[in-house]
Amino acid sequence: MSDLQERARALDAADELAPLRELFTLDDTVYLDGNSLGALPRHVPVRLQEVLTREWGELRIRSWGESGWWTAPERIGDRIAPIVGAAAGQIVVGDSTSVNVFKAVVAATRLAPEGRDEILVDADTFPTDGYIAGSAARMTGHRIVPVAPAEVPGALGPRTAAVLLNHVDYRSGRLHDLPALTAAVQAAGAVSVWDLCHSAGALPVDLDRHGVDLAVGCTYKYLNGGPGSPAYLYVAARHQPVFDSPLPGWTSHADPFAMTPGYEAADGAVRGRVGTPDILSMLALESSLDVWDGVGIEAVRAKSLALTDFFLECVAEYVPEGRVSSATPAAHAERGSQVALRCEDAEPVMGALIARGVVGDLRRPDVLRFGFTPLYVGFADAERAARLLADVLAG
């Protein structure tokens, strides 16, 4: 056994989060793609079976009230709130991330002062965010200004209405400075919108403490909600009385069952709802969140940094010099919970890794991505992944 293998064993033995791995359905594969799709918590199939056979099969329509289906979007939002540092009553679950980005960006332009016609968008954003923001801009008479997150303070001005940024870059894993950028956006009189898809469940976000205006995020990555599980929308309490959604559906109406032709928005985060909730995936997500009971996000962050540090150390030790380079910042304050390695032949390399039992993913043309989900990834996983990567590259 090598020194790094021995260290991995010792680190796993001392890891306070290690027992959580048993809560998930995993095998001998090293699964480093939880930043795309989280692993299945073991208890979720039993819960879904109950939903299917009793709540839908027996109670049927009565389950909207008796089983709490109707209030699920807000109830599950309150389960997510502590993970992202929000007080209850500010998060509603439902729809996709893309739909929630649209709601948030348009609502942000409506919250901004009159006469502002620019929307700043992260120049390296996940493509859909850019597509949605562009469409929102065309519909509202604004123009899109692409800008690197670090350059946002210098790009802000009296014409800036809203700023849409990613907390963690999906390619590189770079963590952007949410507190400082939020403060700069608000000092310029604009409205901040944050995409938390690659940070929620991996590191502290502290939405309330940093005064974020609006935020969106998915639940199928670090929150392990399942493929296509519903996303969420955060509306800071101070904005809720005037939050004007561009998609005023019947379930966000103040009296939805009155079925009146005129729209009157409900109070609170409920304003972010649109149509009938997707109950099956919604309740799978709710059950998945049980793995977070008693887990502090600070402990998750500490393990995430330790894991990624150790993986990078193993890569430096094992991988032939010059074959890969890290696109992920070394500084902890600038790193999310993934490591992106630039590799000339990334696609065949990742294919060979997967064939050897290490599952990551890639972003063309040359990025190997390895996501570290602290709830179920261990240090032995990190060491094995780096060792097998070296074998592939040496072969």
Q: Catalytic one among 33, 129, 169, 195? A: 195
Q: What is the DSSP letter of 117?
A: -
Rounded Cα gap, residues 277 and 179, in angstroms: 32
Rounded Cα gap, residues 55 and 376, in angstroms: 31
Q: Catalytic one among 102, 220, 234, 311? A: 220
Q: Position of tokens 């609502």?
A: 107
Q: Catalytic site residue 311?
A: no
For residue 249, give both structure tokens.
């559906």
Q: Catalytic one among 103, 369, 384, 387? A: 369
Torsion of CA 159, 162, 166, 167, to 10 degrees: 100
Q: What is the DSSP letter of 330?
A: S
Q: Catalytic site residue 42?
A: no
Q: Catalytic one among 24, 31, 126, 222? A: 126
* Residue 144 phi, psi (nearest 5): -85, 135
Q: Pick from 244, 230, 255: which is nearest to 79 by CA? A: 230
Rounded Cα gap, residues 234 and 196, in angstroms: 10
Q: Catalytic site residue 103?
A: no
Q: Where are the alpha helices (DSSP H) in 81-120?
A: 97-111
Grouping H, G, I as helix, E, B as strand and the rest as coil, residue 225 is: coil
Q: Catalytic site residue 243?
A: no
User: Which DSSP helix (H) or strand (E) runs through 78?
Assistant: helix 72-80
Task: Please give the radius of gyration of the chain, using alpha carbons only, rounded to the nearest integer.
Answer: 22
For residue 36, give both structure tokens.
């795309």
* 361 contacts 385 by C-beta, under 8 angstroms: no
Q: Catalytic one among 116, 221, 273, 335? A: 221
Q: Judge residue 178's burial from the number of C-beta atoms within 10 Å of its C-beta, 0-12 exposed, 13-18 middle, 19 or more buried.
A: buried
Q: What is the DSSP letter of 367?
A: E
For residue 197, give both structure tokens.
């898809």
Kindly list the catalytic residues: 126, 195, 220-221, 369
